[in-house]
Amino acid sequence: MTVLPLIGIPGRVKAGSDVAGIPVNFGAAQVEMYMSAYAQALIAAGGLPVHLPIDADPLLLIERLDGLLLPGGTDIEPSLYGAETETDVFPPEPERDDFELGLYKGAVDRRLPVLGVCRGQQIVNVAAGGTLHQDVPPHSGFDVAVDTELHEVTFEPGSTLRDLYGPSLRVNSLHHQAVDAVGEGLRVTAWADDGLAEGLEHTSLPIVCVQWHPEMMPTRHTDPIFSWLVAAASDG
């Protein structure tokens, strides 16, 4: 029997009262959720996705995984990159920051492949000592369909993203924050036409990040970024 590469996806914590359809007496119960499109894309690419509960020890989880997908989500606590809060549009969830930073640290120590998407790219950058722009309204496509191609990105020659996508790509844009100062060991390999960083790669580890949401596009089942993660997770 073929053993598929096991790829972990953390989620987000909600109260039962914030989830439609849950009986009212479960209102105080903790619920975790993630966007299924990530799992669907990884399954289509030949991987085996698994949800990572926030209450588990991130390092024990990482020991069992072949790869990590850090997904989109809320803002990162600005004090983690030495800044004051400038916006509360998507308030930080400190426990989630701790959990995902722990997962990422473990993945780096084990040299596990990591794909960061949106907030995931920002987590990777902050973990490496980088900083964020806290509000970039032209990239906040929250009032249009999630697969709306809002801008173009151009890829750096000699990068993994360039190998996967070619010279440029039209992408959706569902973020209101973005990479500012780039963290140690990372380089920007995708640029929006206004100069914002839309992709990051580690210079020596199998870590690739994108600021857009490939899993929200109708092409998610064939998008090469998920095949990259599955192939890299199969190499170990």
Is the Cα torsion angle 209, 183, 175, 20 positive or negative in sign? Answer: positive
> Given the complex with Mn ion, which of 103 and 136 has the nearer CB atom?
136
Strand 6-10 versus strand 168-171 pairing type: unpaired
Determine the Cα–Cα distance for residues 36 and 57; give it in Å rounded to an integer. 23
Contact status, residue 118 vs residue 174, Cβ threshold 8 Å: yes
213 is catalytic: yes
> Given the complex with Mn ion, which of 96 and 139 has the nearer CB atom?
139
Q: Which residue out of 151, 175, 176, 213 is catalytically annotated?
A: 213
Rounded to a whole number of angstroms, the minimum distance from the CB of residue 54 to Mn ion is: 27
> Given the complex with Mn ion, which of 121 and 173 has the nearer CB atom?
173
Determine the Cα–Cα distance for residues 92 and 8; give it in Å rounded to an integer. 22
Residue spans of alpha helices (H) in 29-133:
36-44, 58-64, 94-110, 119-127
Q: Is 173 in the site for Mn ion (CB under 5 A)?
A: yes
Determine the Cα–Cα distance for residues 58 and 105; give it in Å rounded to an integer. 9
Using CB under 5 A, which of the segments 6-14, 32-40, 45-53, 171-179 binds Mn ion? 171-179
Rounded to a whole number of angstroms, the minimum distance from the CB of residue 194 to Mn ion is: 9
Q: Is 177 in the site for Mn ion (CB under 5 A)?
A: no
**Exactly one of 96, 119, 133, 139 binds Mn ion (CB under 5 A); which one?**
139
Q: Which residue out of 118, 133, 139, 201 is catalytically annotated?
A: 118
Q: Taking CB positions, which residue lies at the least distance from Mn ion?
A: 173
Report in angstroms the alpha-carbon separations of 229 from 42, 80, 225: 8, 27, 6
184 is catalytic: no
Rounded to a whole number of angstroms, the minimum distance from the CB of residue 135 to Mn ion is: 13
Binding residues for Mn ion, rule CB under 5 A, total 2
For residue 55, what is the DSSP state? T
- Applying CB under 5 A, the residues found at the interface with Mn ion are 139, 173
The catalytic site residues sit at 118, 213, 215
